[in-house]
Amino acid sequence: MRCAVFASGNGSNFQTLLDRRASGDLIHADFVLMVGNNSKAGAFDRARAHGIPTLHIAPSRFPTEEAYAERLSSALKEAGVELITLAGYMKKLPPAIVALYRNRILNIHPALLPAFGGQGMYGSNVHKAVIDYGAKVSGVTVHFVDDEYDHGPVILQKAVPVLDDDNEQTLAARVLQAEHECYWQAVEAVAAGRIKIIERRVIRC
């Protein structure tokens, strides 16, 4: 499937997807576009290094959400995008894009949803909340995107321990390693058509 990656930061998950593609592990996704809202994001450099077209598009530059969604939709259609993967993208997609790519947008969240998800729960905020709560396990959730934050059907989860001496940085590093280990597997399963959705349950075929 022709895939667009949306990223706002360094793009380490994007790099892992590119590496898995190059190694032959991720064979059913072809990365044809990288979209970002932050012109200084390192993900842009990663895309350019691999000859992948990029699009810098910031919602704040458009008079309305509808105008932003229309421009984004046009760019995705022009690139022939069939699947969207969010890799540290810090903006909520407009409902029109979610509807256009229903069950074809993947996101990775640094906790075990439905715990520690929702608006404002990203990056170090998540890890601080996990530690402050006293949770003994955290992890990674890959899920489909719907109209609510961190709410769509779960594709894959991987748990990691929360250690007694963890701080936000040490837990974040352990969770990021888990992200790199499993995001590509979810992308490959979706792109290869190896899953089906029954209500909220995502089942491997």
Closest CA to 59 of 51, 69, 50: 69
Residue 42 CA neighbour count, 13 Å, CB half: 9
Q: Which residues contact 198 (CB under 8 A, 6 or more apart)?
A: none
Burial classification of residue 47, based on how many CB atoms lie within 10 Å of its CB (0-12 exposed, 13-18 middle, 19 or more buried): buried
- Give the residue numbers annotated as catalytic, written as ranges: 109
CA 176 vs CA 11, 16, 57, 105, 192: distances in Å: 12, 11, 26, 20, 25
* CB count in 10 Å sphere of residue 204: 9
Residue with tokens 């608006």: 119
- CA dist., res. 139 & res. 177, Å (int): 10
